[in-house]
A and B are shown apart, each in its own frame.
Chain A
């Protein structure tokens, strides 16, 4: 198992090159914020397990994933901040422009409101039991794996660099979470039952991943999100079959929830932000 200690975990950020930012207009920042919000909110959710995992080794593993996602979020927010500070009018988020200060990774994560966050609904759902957390992680990691797999060839060199680094981490996340999906799906009768239930619950939040928002159109991302769904389905079907969890009914029967990417979240989101943002809201203008 991969183990990282604190000594080498924090400074592992991508160096951004402000000279190489291509002249994208409009939605570029929104797209990067969307990616960052996904990573941050899932990191926040996974970190709730820290100290409470089902077994020590897995407590460490889920915390590792949380740290990786947090690192990805930081790289992306820093890049978004760079773009926004260069062209402030490109972002309509009004809450960021108080006092004409430059935005930072922290103002982007701690001072935006629920309606400004662009993460998908999947990542904000409560952790549920270990099975639900694992399954959500698996479905999301495969999506991230394919997404970063595309973005590593982006013309935007900063984004490509972030994608390359993230892809290494996500490759491990896919492996770890798929192994657990199989183990729990094909474990005991009880674990199988719990996984079937988890899949039913989580499934309705997966459709949104592939429902492109204007900021995800091909001109900005460099790839077709709907085409990505095909690869995603193929990959997860194999694992779900091995986990004895596959049911072809899933895709047809379930109504897909959406809205998160537009800033229309579930009720959970407000509470996530209440905790996440508490210190920055209670002590405005303090350095930490």
Chain B
């Protein structure tokens, strides 16, 4: 939260000429609302600009380059790695007004959208016709498709349907010099380098996305949701491996521990058992008969691993309620703690029992309470570390504990982030995962797209300013 503005001239009049007076924020009392995202608060932008067309985006970027101001794109600001905040003085390009669905082409199962469209709004728009947009981050009721593309967002259902990149067919993007390019095509395969794949997940450091063509999926004929309830955490983690060992890939396979569960239940009254140690939320999709058969197998796998009970959701309403509980799980912990820090590590799912034990140990050693929610099917962990940021000692302990957990994930053959991205949170940790040569290649790619580092500076790649540190940031919410 820097108060004094650096001396870089702000081309306010030019910005107003490009997007219109009403679409530029620059007063201190307004721009301070853009110093945070879902992770924390940082530098206050000099101005926030709301373009409504690609041409406007292009002109703003060109202007920013001429005046030497960094540019950061912002969708809904739900990101959890500080991607949408500035690390220095600069401009924020807000996409909340570029939120039109431009074209829905059901025959070819695709839609063309502006980046500010909210993930769930796209599904809502095509739901009557029996379609939906598959990637379903837990934040889907608020986050934008532009943010999803930038973070290559995933969700509970990515186990079967893949992450964002598997659903993006083509992009229109503005490059760091203001030029407009198109990648991919409306077809499922196209010649040349896969630039769409390169831009997806680049966290706004290579280009600003101005239009997205996505794949739409048909709603499955049948959906079955099971809730397996356990009295011991290891039983739940072992079940995960034995389900996949049976050759079944559920559409979603989520785990929550008892501590988290109780907060979730209080928040949503979804009917989660208050006295269990862990639950698995398992969803199957497909043809009715197949789904029925698989549900039987899964029930066996759960019971073999000492599940106390396996429930089946009896109605769409019950299913929605269970999912609402799961998708609101992070927030539900906000009820029991002033602050929490969500980690986002990945491990091979076969190592789940090990990492759970490790985390328990970390919690003990650092005297911290941990909640655990994860996409068990793909080994994507979300330990939540509870603390009160008014206490500096707790802050320090959270940072160290998180760093240990992430390091352990890498040791077990996993990764430093599953879906929340690197941003400014984990860029200094990239060397844990990549060799100097790997990183050098990434830097060369970045140099082609963003040679002066105008777009989203200080993110994704190590800056070299800090060494191997996790930058946990307290959320600014008080």
A, B in one complex: no
